[in-house]
């Protein structure tokens, strides 16, 4: 058994989301959002090097030798998969392991609102799930793919770096491609996907202009495209996509997005108030006719107002989501205040805990 497995199992037993394994430092795990030491001894460089060499395949080793960093997936059979980033740093070698459950959670497991279930019934267009690293984007998307896999009779194609959740075929044929193993880039894999008769394409990360451009084209062609961006807020997400294009093309892109976008879910995870764990706060933008009109006209600064007035369509701002979670006793007013956009609305709440 690889030496790293003992550390990973300890992290899983503590319900950690990440293991930090850096030479020169004690082993740490992120537990309910906080980084905590799980050993007292500092790791020796040779020991870290041996642990990582045991689990890296030839591709990862080659990437590490060439670029001093590598991304790959690692699995403890019948226990969990991990997304791994290994890198060189001042004290030697380090690695971060992100735990991925061996089985995707369902939308019901995640207690997702009705509007997310409804988004999963779309058959074309673009759905984006956004948030900072560690906000649960991959988990939400995996649950959405799981719902479609059970309901549809079609072809779901995922493009990831690396493959995280492994989906078994249920109602659908599932094809999962890993960047660096099955394709050289997200853009190349997307170009290929257009010729592979997909009903749904999941793009693990929309990193660059070419990937975003092909994804929008696919959505315009009648394919349902799901993807992630590292943006905070639904309005910022639309703005990021538009501004990734040259100025002379932005008007045309706004028009395309105004018709192809189905929804944006922006999320963050907050510690629960009365028990150990975290709960998701969701900002939701649905492309109603009013929202479509604002996007087409470039009035992106008014999208927040549209979300505030679109509750009947399932929309809500992040601040509204935080208020609801405080009202239900799920999170503290202090944590809501720290994550709120309009902090003046939460001044009173932060002192009531």
The pLDDT value recorded for residue 201 is 98
Whether pTM > 0.85 for this model: the answer is yes
Pairing of strands 28-31, 34-37: antiparallel
- Determine the Cα angle at 163 with ends 90 and 234, to 5°: 85
Phi and psi at residue 101, to the nearest 5°: -55, 145
Asked whether residue 122 carries a pLDDT value surpassing 90, the answer given is yes
> Band of the pLDDT at 1, cuts 50, 70, 90?
confident
Mean pLDDT value across residues 271-280: 89
The DSSP line for 103-169 is SPPPTTTTT--HHHHHHTT--SEEEEEE-STTSSHHHHHHHHHHHHHHH--SEEEEEESS--SPPPP
Contact 216, 206 (CB under 8 A): no
Which residue is associated with the tokens 């600064």? Answer: 301
Beta strands in 208-350 (DSSP E): 224-229, 261-271, 278-286
> Band of the pLDDT at 33, cuts 50, 70, 90?
confident
Q: What does DSSP assign to residue 15? A: T
Asked whether residue 97 carries a pLDDT value surpassing 80, the answer given is yes
What digits encode the pLDDT tens for the residues 322-345? 999 999 999 999 999 999 999 988
Asked whether residue 162 carries a pLDDT value surpassing 90, the answer given is no
Q: What percent of the chain has a predicted confidence (pLDDT) above 70?
A: 99
Which residue is associated with the tokens 């979300």? Answer: 307
Contacts of 177 (CB under 8 A, 6+ apart): 157, 158, 159, 160, 163, 183, 189
Cis peptide, bond prior to residue 162, ω within 30 of zero: yes
The per-residue pLDDT of the chain, averaged, comes to 94
Asked whether residue 192 carries a pLDDT value surpassing 70, the answer given is yes
Phi and psi at residue 309, to the nearest 5°: -95, 0
Asked whether residue 20 carries a pLDDT value surpassing 80, the answer given is yes
Q: What b/e readout covers 254-290, taking b as 16+ CB neighbours within 10 angstroms?
A: bebbbebbbbbbbbbbbbbbeeeebbbbbbbbbbbee
Which residue is associated with the tokens 């805990």? Answer: 353
Contact 325, 288 (CB under 8 A): no
Could you give the CA distance from residue 220 to residue 244 in angstroms, rounded to a whole number?
18
Asked whether residue 349 carries a pLDDT value surpassing 90, the answer given is no
Contact 142, 204 (CB under 8 A): no
> Band of the pLDDT at 181, cuts 50, 70, 90?
confident
- Determine the Cα angle at 169 with ends 115 and 127, to 5°: 30
Asked whether residue 277 carries a pLDDT value surpassing 90, the answer given is no
Asked whether residue 103 carries a pLDDT value surpassing 90, the answer given is no
Mean pLDDT value across residues 39-59: 94
What digits encode the pLDDT tens for the residues 193-249? 999 999 999 999 998 999 999 999 999 999 999 999 999 999 999 999 999 999 999
Could you give the CA distance from residue 82 to residue 99 in angstroms, rounded to a whole number?
5
Could you give the CA distance from residue 264 to residue 240 in angstroms, rounded to a whole number?
13
The pLDDT value recorded for residue 306 is 96
Contacts of 246 (CB under 8 A, 6+ apart): none
Could you give the CA distance from residue 147 to residue 107 in angstroms, rounded to a whole number?
7
Asked whether residue 88 carries a pLDDT value surpassing 90, the answer given is yes
The pLDDT value recorded for residue 353 is 59
């Amino acid at each position: 058994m690889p030496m790293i497995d003992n550390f990973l199992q300890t992290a899983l037993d503590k319900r950690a989301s990440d293991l930090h394994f850096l030479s020169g430092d004690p082993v740490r795990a992120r537990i309910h959002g906080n980084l905590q030491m799980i050993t007292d001894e500092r790791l020796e460089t040779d020991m870290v090097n041996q642990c990582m060499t045991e689990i890296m395949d030839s591709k990862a080793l080659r990437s590490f030798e060439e670029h001093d960093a590598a991304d790959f997936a690692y699995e403890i059979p019948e226990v969990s998969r991990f997304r791994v980033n290994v890198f060189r740093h001042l004290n030697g070698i380090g690695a971060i392991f992100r735990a991925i459950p061996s089985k995707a959670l369902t939308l019901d497991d995640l207690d997702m609102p009705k509007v997310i279930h409804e988004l999963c019934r779309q058959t074309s267009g673009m759905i984006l799930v956004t948030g900072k690293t560690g906000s649960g984007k991959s988990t939400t998307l995996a649950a959405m793919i799981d719902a479609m896999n059970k309901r549809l009779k079609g072809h779901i194609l995922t493009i990831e770096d690396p493959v995280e959740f492994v989906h078994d075929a249920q109602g659908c044929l599932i094809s999962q491609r890993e960047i660096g193993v099955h394709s050289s880039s997200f853009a190349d894999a997307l170009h290929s996907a257009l010729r592979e008769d997909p009903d749904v394409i999941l793009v693990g990360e929309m990193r660059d202009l070419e990937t975003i451009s092909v994804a929008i084209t696919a959505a315009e062609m009648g394919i349902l495209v799901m993807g992630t961006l590292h943006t905070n807020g639904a309005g910022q997400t639309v703005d990021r996509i538009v501004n990734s294009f040259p100025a002379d093309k932005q008007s045309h892109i706004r028009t395309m997005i105004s018709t192809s976008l189905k929804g944006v879910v922006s999320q963050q995870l907050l510690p629960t108030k009365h028990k150990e764990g975290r709960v998701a706060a969701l900002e939701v933008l649905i492309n109603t006719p009013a929202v479509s009109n604002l996007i087409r006209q470039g009035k992106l600064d008014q999208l927040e107002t549209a979300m505030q007035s679109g509750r009947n369509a399932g929309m809500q701002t992040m601040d509204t989501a935080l208020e609801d979670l405080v009202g239900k006793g799920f999170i503290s007013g202090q944590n809501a205040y720290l994550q709120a956009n309009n902090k003046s609305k939460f001044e009173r709440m932060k002192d009531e805990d």
